[in-house]
Amino acid sequence: MIWNVTYNDAQRWEQVHLIAGKRIPWAQSITDSIRGRTVGSPKLDLVGVEGLKELERLRLSLNHRTSVNFQRTTEGVIAYTKVRLEVYAVPIRFPEILSVDADYADAAQSRLVLHFQRDEETVKLTMTGASRVLDRTLQWFKMASNPEGAAS
């Protein structure tokens, strides 16, 4: 479910895009950005991973925060996170996303939880960030999952 994309390996990218869909064409990404439909999401801190055993294992010994951000594709999104010096991609199809929920209990450091289902595996990514960044990320997910509409 995750691919190391640190090195430009065409076969790995082919596998990632086979799941998440093709990249948004460059010209369309510029036009979409002007209209408020950015290809990339705001960056959050990835603080918890459940259901992606390989990524969980890689992150076990970390004692620092790692960031995560998402890229919109034609059929879904790709989550990117860095572990040490390696960049990992987690492709997700829109129908696999079960929920994107926010918890604003702490105004300084709010929490966003993304649940998605791939085959028999349920995955939970827990992210934190400032409330305003969380709001923008929630809006980004709403926009990204609605291919017809603009950002609201």
Residue ranges covered by each domain of the chain: 3-144
Is a pLDDT exceeding 80 seen at residue 108? no
Q: Establish how many alpha carbons lie within 13 A of residue 83's alpha carbon, considering only the half-sphere containing its beta carbon.
A: 19
Whole-model pTM: value is 0.90
pLDDT tens-place string over residues 2-13: 999 999 899 999
Mean pLDDT of 17-46: 93
Is a pLDDT exceeding 90 seen at residue 107? no
Strands of the chain (E only): list them: 3-4, 44-50, 66-72, 76-83, 86-93, 97-103, 110-118, 121-129
64/70 Cα distance (integer angstroms): 20
Looking at every residue in the chain, the average pLDDT score rounds to 88
Q: What is the CATH number of domain 3-144?
A: 2.30.29.30
Is a pLDDT exceeding 90 seen at residue 150? no
The answer to whether residues 98 and 123 touch, using CB atoms and an 8 Å cutoff, is: no
The answer to whether residues 77 and 144 touch, using CB atoms and an 8 Å cutoff, is: yes
pLDDT tens-place string over residues 41-94: 999 999 888 998 888 888 877 666 789 999 999 999 999 998 888 899 999 999
The answer to whether residues 40 and 79 touch, using CB atoms and an 8 Å cutoff, is: no
SS3 category, 149: coil
